[in-house]
Structure 1
Amino acid sequence: MVQLVTTYIPLSIAGGTYLEEAVPGPGGIYAAFEGLGHRISRMLEEVQARMPRYEEAERLGAESGTPVLDVVHISYDQDETPMDLSITSCSAPTRTS
């Protein structure tokens, strides 16, 4: 399954750190957050279905008329500061082989 993921991290957290690099290193962004003193206290996720844009359907390998699921994820640190917003998109066929 192909997924498209976009992650936004506030400059107040990532600025001047290795989080500005495309790949933050072993353990991913959450290990990096911990190393910078940001402990995850809670997360929110919302799932939405929609029809994809043409170029998105092409990148996902979705057949015409196949909807896309978006998972919108926000994590907060111990001070209730949003640490990241991630949007993961994948095709959602009604049947898989």
Structure 2
Amino acid sequence: MTVLQFDGVMHRHVKQNPFEVESLLQRGLDAASGKAGSCNLIEAHKWFNLAAMRGSAQAVRYRREISQEMSGMEIAEAQRAARDWLSVH
């Protein structure tokens, strides 16, 4: 296990199934592109953050890109949503 820091928060990094990482990344892409309706950057950031925690360099890049379009409050909301997801999964 490795401990990583993302957005000022320490996270445990556990190697995951590559299909799970790809699924998390795809959920972020879907939310960012509005595939399920309208674009949702908070949801996209959440999924990219989760994929990044599992080692996806692509997710780190996408998260950084959309963060530039988000307010600090939106980023904080996305981070809370990612932590909530982790507490359940």
TM-score (norm 1): 0.23
Which one has the largest radius of gyration?
1
Whichever structure has more helix as a proportion of its residues is: 2
Whichever structure has more strand as a proportion of its residues is: 1
